Amino acid sequence: MHFLIGVLVVVAIIWFMIVSPGFRRIAIGLLVLVSLGIAWVIYNSNEEAKVRQRQQAENERFAVTAIHAEDLLLADVTLKKEGAWWYLKGAITNNSKYALGKIGFLITIQDCPQPQNCKVVGQEAASTNSGSYSYNDRTP
């Protein structure tokens, strides 16, 4: 039933646009206004998205730079091999006024037969968050 009413309305609008120049002008004017309104809504939503992205980037930049290396105290740091795995253990004290959510480490193992002649034999990026750790990058 609704479909039939919709078809009749569309047919009536088309018929009035064909036979009535005044209705045609009004319909075209409304179409232009609706198109401009849609363009305005799309433009504003894009601008709001850009503002949100800038705010998020600013928040992330602050989060990364709020705690300085000198605000962190590392104690009892050891790197031990247990079986096939290496473990980095230690305690971190945060002396800044901001909460530390995550910290990352880049561990590089070098073979240095002579002080100026070191060769990287292993490198691992690891991060920790709330007492757990994850490996981010493995390069031999």
Residue 67 clears pLDDT 90, i.e. is over it: no
What value does the mean pLDDT take over residues 61-78? 86
Please tell me whether residue 20 adopts helix, strand or coil conformation.
coil
Contacts of 102 (CB under 8 A, 6+ apart): 127, 128, 129
What value does the mean pLDDT take over residues 35-44? 91
What value does the mean pLDDT take over residues 25-46? 91
* Positive or negative torsion for Cα 64, 68, 71, 77: positive
Q: Per-residue pLDDT tens for 75-102?
A: 998 888 889 888 888 888 888 888 887 8
Q: What is the DSSP letter of 37?
A: H
The full set of domain ranges for the chain reads 2-65, 69-139
